[in-house]
Amino acid sequence: MSDYLIIIHILNAVLSGKNLTETFTANIGKIATADINTRVGIKTRADKDLAYTQINIGKIKDICYGVVRNYYRLQAVLSQIVSRTPEDKNLQILLLIGVYELEYTKKAPYAAVNELVNLSLELSTNQRVKNFINGVMRSYLREREQLHQQAAAQPEYKYNFPHWLIHKLKQEYPNKYSQLIENSNSIPKIALRVNLSKISFDDYVKILNNAAIDFDLIENKIVLKLLLKVEQIPFFQDGYVSIQDISAQRLIELVKPQKGDYILDACCAPGGKMCQILEHSQVKLLGLDISKTRLNKVKQNLVRLGLSADLIEADASKCDWWQACDSPLFDTIIADVPCSASGTLKRNPDIKLNRRLLDIDNFVILQRKIVSNLWQMLKPGGKMVYITCSIFKEENHDNIEFFSQRLSDVLVIREFNILPTPFADGFYYCVLEKSIN
């Protein structure tokens, strides 16, 4: 299977509403496994590696993420050339790939056009399709500057965001929306969280310096200057560090557990916040998530870091699991609730394509249901840390107002909103205390 057919398959799924990262990861794994089965049979690790040599994973990832990240600009330009969008989704995607490669990669234009024209013959035996793809690509090359100038009048092109999201950000952040959009369109950085139960922060910094790996220290957290593969990060597999956005690392400032405290991390996958707490404290921790697949990722992280916690596959908006295991009340609850993820657009660009304004209201309903359910499991005097990676007030401050009015014995201790920067995602944190009275 050619790289481009894989790319088209992944982008088809994403444009139909699937998560980009999950789709990319799942498809690369399936393709490699299928390749082994048809070529050599599964015998050794070398056989597995062989399958990956048959495809260019870097190229596939670059084009998939690049097309999704720049989707609105690509569409705006194509609309100047193609008056009527092809009904065939594969051809729609082929055009997006073509303009992306011609505009954002160093690939020679003649090579890009020829490859895509040849690929069109794999998708359709109709000669008119080949001529259509060839014509659109060559029109773009001839009129590139004019096409971009014409498209620049469209807000979706200017900001590379959907219209509803531009409008909402203008409403909520009238003096900051332009910078927020720019930051959300940037390439995400890799931030590292040092496992202080294995190595000191200063000692790991020395390791990076000795390895000539460039990084910035931002808020006393490590942000790599270059995008490295996991295997290139020193002692990652040994559990010395984890990849975690610097805004997500702020949790430890708010959770100050005592030795032996009982903590619930609801909606815990992939486990970054849970592991951070365990690296700092000797506590009993229960991790809860509705997805078995995502819980498996939590298990992998715990094993790599040499940590332990109890894990349950269950719905945080219900209490049957808690009653069934006869669990005591918790000293601390981490409610990292499902949300619009509007603070993580540069890391998850598919959200721009698939999220809708109505989705925010649906998330708010779920968030309120989860917190209201978990509140009964918290000890008097205990604390709940409410977290979203959203920058919308409905999911953040408005929810806190709701909880303050509807739940008993709620004290708001601290709340803060972190907006996206070139180095970090947007997050919201609020600490709620359950009054002893």
**Could you tell me how far CA 49 lies from the centroid of its own chain?**
26
Active site residue 389: yes
DSSP 378-406: EEEEEEEEEEES---GGGTHHHHHHHHHH
DSSP 344-368: GTTT-THHHHH--HHHHHHHHHHHH
Task: For residue 321, give every residue at least 6 positions away whose Cβ sits within 8 Å of its Cβ, in sequence order, or none.
Answer: 288, 312, 314, 315
Task: For residue 237, give every residue at least 6 positions away whose Cβ sits within 8 Å of its Cβ, in sequence order, or none.
Answer: 230, 231, 304
Task: For residue 124, give every residue at least 6 positions away whose Cβ sits within 8 Å of its Cβ, in sequence order, or none.
Answer: 88, 91, 130
Question: Looking at the chain, how many residues does it have?
Answer: 437
Residue found by looking up tokens 């793809």 in the block: 133
CA distance linking residue 86 with residue 129, whole number of Å: 10
Q: In what order do the strands lie in the sheet with 378-388?
A: 310-313, 284-289, 262-266, 330-336, 378-388, 427-434, 410-418
CA distance linking residue 197 with residue 242, whole number of Å: 13
Residue found by looking up tokens 């940037």 in the block: 186
Counting Cα atoms < 13 Å in the Cβ hemisphere of 254 gives: 27
Packed helices 57-69 and 20-39: angle between N→C axes, nearest 10 degrees: 150
How big is the CA angle at 216 (ends 244 and 206), to the nearest 5 degrees? Answer: 90
C-alpha distances in Å from residue 91, one per residue of 74, 297, 344, 375: 14, 35, 30, 51
Q: Looking at 40-154, list the stretches that DSSP marks H as alpha helix, in order from N- to C-terminal side.
A: 45-53, 57-69, 71-81, 89-104, 109-123, 127-151
DSSP 428: E
Residue found by looking up tokens 């709340």 in the block: 415
Catalytic residue among 64, 267, 389, 430: 389
CA end-to-end distance (rounded Å), the chain: 66
* Active-site residue list: 389
